[in-house]
Amino acid sequence: MQTNPTPPAFTSLVAVGDSFTEGMSDLLPDGSYRGWADVLAARMAARTPGFRYANLAVRGKLIGQIVDEQVEVAAAMNADVVTLVGGLNDTLRPKCDMGRVRGLLTEAVERLAPSCKQLVLMHSPGRQGPVLERFRPRMEELFACVDELAAKHGAVVVDLYGAPALADPRLWDVDRLHLTAEGHRRVAEAVWQTLGYDPEDTDWHIPMPATPPPGWLARRTADVRFARQHLLPWIGRRLTGRSSGDGRPAKRPDLLPYEDLA
């Protein structure tokens, strides 16, 4: 008789990164964000009594800031699983030194991989549209570096960039930079399966059913709202050297027994 393989015995998780890992824009009623890492931690905690979880991610962080502010803290926690997603904010800057980005990502992986049982890296998802096309070469250079580091250091890679569903604009918030709650749920499922757990949704990567595209007026209205509420403030921060994460603490800075964050 065939039996199911024993599920992984992971007892702790530390998430490292920027707004993607913080959970924007999976908004909760109290104004905080949930996100894929919280969803993943909840699932893992349901299987493992005493499961511990920390989320060091802060929105807007560049890979250098992640290395300086999060990597050593995460490594010292000696968690079973560490997720690291960073560098995409760098690729979206007008001036980006990809050699420096690769070097910093290498530094982060070299420090984190020996500190945990399983390091998880990702190809970040990309929303369809002109922004992706403009920055695609940098993103793909970043993902090639991720693959090389994973092969060298025994990390696993979750390929969200190659998942057709996550390119769908309907899974992205109005800011066009962050996933919706459904997008984050699908990411959590992808990481869950990559870690060796039995699938809860085998179709997470399959696109949603087609719907009629919005009309011209609806598209233009959305474009104007996006420019006013998100694009212009983003440009303003770039011009003044500010970040949306300035002064913000880590989301869940201590590796403590999991509590339901929903």
pTM check: above 0.85: yes
Name which residue leads in pLDDT, 202 or 245. 202
Angle at 96 between CA 26 and CA 17, to 5 degrees: 30
Res 135: pLDDT: 85
- Structure tokens given for 149: 């580091």
Report which of residues 181 and 134 the model is more confident about: 181
Lowest mean pLDDT among 5-14, 43-52, 70-79, 198-207: 5-14
d(CA 214, CA 197): 38
Which one, of 53, 138, 133, lies nearest residue 95 by Cα?
Answer: 138
Q: What is the pLDDT of residues 197-230, one digit of tens each?
A: 999 999 999 987 776 676 665 556 655 565 555 4
Average pLDDT over residues 51-60: 97
Question: Which residue would you say has higher pLDDT here, 202 or 173?
Answer: 202
**Could you give the CA distance from residue 11 to residue 87 in angstroms, rounded to a whole number?**
28
Q: Residue 155: phi, psi to the nearest 5?
A: -85, 160
The two three-digit tokens of residue 79, written as one number: 């968690």
8 SS3 class: coil
Least confident of 16-20, 116-120, 233-237: 233-237
Is 257:68 a contact under the CB 8 Å cutoff?
no
CA angle 212, 217, 220 (to 5 degrees): 105
Q: Euclidean distance between the first and final Cα of the chain, in Å? A: 39
Give the pLDDT of residue 2: 42
